[in-house]
Amino acid sequence: MIKKIVKNLNLSATLRINEISKDLESQSKDIFKFGFGQSPFKVPNQLVLELKNNATENSYLPIQGLSELRLAIAKYISLKKNYNYSSENILIGPGTKELMFLLNILFDGEVLLPIPSWVSYEPQAILGRNRIHWLQTTREKNWFPSAENIEKIVSRNKDKNYLLFINSPNNPSGQVCENLEEISVIVKKYNILVLSDEIYSELSFDDNYKSIANFCPEKTIISNGLSKWCSAGGWRIGHFVIPNELKKLKNSMKVLASETFSAVSAPIQYAAISAYEKDMSEYVKSSRNILKNVGEYVYENLTSNKVLISKSQGGFYLMPEFVDKKFISSEEMCADLLNNTGVVLLPGSDFGFSKNKLIARLSFTDFNGEEFMKNFSSDQIIKEEDIVKFAPKIIEGTKRLKVWAESS
């Protein structure tokens, strides 16, 4: 009755851990929610006001999305990329996850995924019946693949179509890809399609954020939305930016959209316009300032000869590796950690690592972002005592994690 391809899949790891954490909290358990990656801040007031003002909008909107919203996004993106995008290049969806799923359904070829990769890339490729090639990475290279590794795979069969996923800043590592230009050379040489997942780009701690679309815009689909930088994950709105050179692909995406989600919620599309037309710089910079400092606190207090971590470069993740622990798998390790400390992490095996690599994703978002932001502007210095005051769960959870990591 149920197709084997679906029967063999599990619940999304990130959504599953969120439900587990909430269930444990409801039982009054002392839990430190370092597992689920949700922004700790409130949706900006001006977006909330726009949503209220447009709550009566009840018409079906165009499949591709509200024209005013698409134009606002196109102008916003064009200022940041080396390409002149128009509203016709924009496709609005109910979150980028749905759009990526549709891309996997229509794409006829093989998918290139770096290790580590976001938890949903692999199952979506499987559902699209696309063969997956895992790209090996190293901590020294920020957990991104080298151009040579990519070429080694695609050069074996040049007649195949390839789809490469690049997610920078990265979930789960928190790292930024620094070899985009080298990768773009291979992309052009072998006619590779790129999905540049830039959902954390506005939260990059470096003002000089670079996209692979800066180097090969004609081969790059940009994926972004409001879930991270506007803290609107529950609103479920995202977009693809598809260049003119991929017009046929965009049209096929529209066909699939028409037969699945039809159109994104009208009130939310109208409200989203202000995110791209109004000045959001203070909100975004304040978010970055707080996340950067909280992330650095966790990094500095957890790093040791028993815990290897790279400092977060954007978003709200760290990826600690526990070098002296004796567990069969990262899943077993995270279960032990939860049982003994109340700290929730996601095992590295959920992101493509081998099961026996004792690495995990840590989300440093278990604090009241609204209160934190009320007290600190974008340029204010945040001290350790401020983190103690406004992010006590981060302090205590990090302490417990460190003690557990250093125990025999």
Question: Residue 20: its pLDDT value, please?
Answer: 79
Domain boundary among 277, 305, 331: 277
| Same-domain status, 288 and 367 | yes
Q: What is the pLDDT of residues 139-149, one digit of tens each?
A: 999 999 999 99
| Same-domain status, 271 and 306 | no
Q: What is the pLDDT of residues 59-102, one digit of tens each?
A: 999 999 999 999 999 999 998 887 899 999 999 999 999 999 99
Question: Residue 408: its pLDDT value, please?
Answer: 64
| Same-domain status, 327 and 237 | no
Q: What is the pLDDT of residues 350-381, one digit of tens each?
A: 999 999 999 999 999 999 999 999 999 888 99
| Same-domain status, 402 and 316 | yes
Q: What is the CATH number of the domain that holds 337?
A: 3.90.1150.10
| Same-domain status, 27 and 121 | no
Report d(CA 330, CA 336) in Å as an integer.
Answer: 10
| Same-domain status, 176 and 238 | yes
| Same-domain status, 270 and 394 | no
Q: Residue 136's beta-bridge partner residues? A: none
Report d(CA 284, CA 155) in Å as an integer.
Answer: 41
Specify the amino acid at residue 39: S
Distances (CA, A) of 286 to 41, 291, 342: 10, 9, 29
| Same-domain status, 244 and 347 | no
Q: What is the CATH number of the domain that holds 170?
A: 3.40.640.10
Question: Residue 398: its pLDDT value, please?
Answer: 98
Q: What is the pLDDT along the chain (408 residues), one digit of tens a residue?
A: 888 888 888 888 777 777 877 787 777 778 999 998 899 999 999 999 999 999 999 999 999 999 999 999 999 999 888 789 999 999 999 999 999 999 999 999 999 999 999 999 999 999 999 999 999 999 999 999 999 999 999 999 989 999 999 999 999 999 999 999 999 999 999 999 999 999 999 999 998 899 999 999 999 999 999 999 999 999 999 999 999 999 999 999 999 999 999 999 999 999 999 999 999 999 999 999 999 999 999 999 999 999 999 999 999 999 999 998 899 999 999 999 999 999 999 999 999 999 999 999 999 999 999 999 999 988 899 999 999 999 999 999 999 999 999 986
- The residues, any chain, with a CB within 8 Å of residue 332's CB and separated by 6 or more, are none
Rounded to two decimals, the pTM is 0.95
Q: Which two tokens stand for residue 116?
A: 């580590």
Domain boundary among 277, 303, 333: 277
| Same-domain status, 260 and 302 | no
| Same-domain status, 24 and 125 | no
| Same-domain status, 152 and 219 | yes
The answer to whether the Cα torsion of 373, 374, 375, 376 is positive or negative is: positive
Q: Which domain holds residue 152?
A: 45-277
CA-wise closest residue to 191 among 224, 155, 240 = 155
| Same-domain status, 229 and 314 | no
Please state the domain count of the chain.
2
Question: Residue 394: its pLDDT value, please?
Answer: 98
What stretch of H or E contains 299? Answer: helix 281-302
Domain boundary among 240, 259, 277: 277
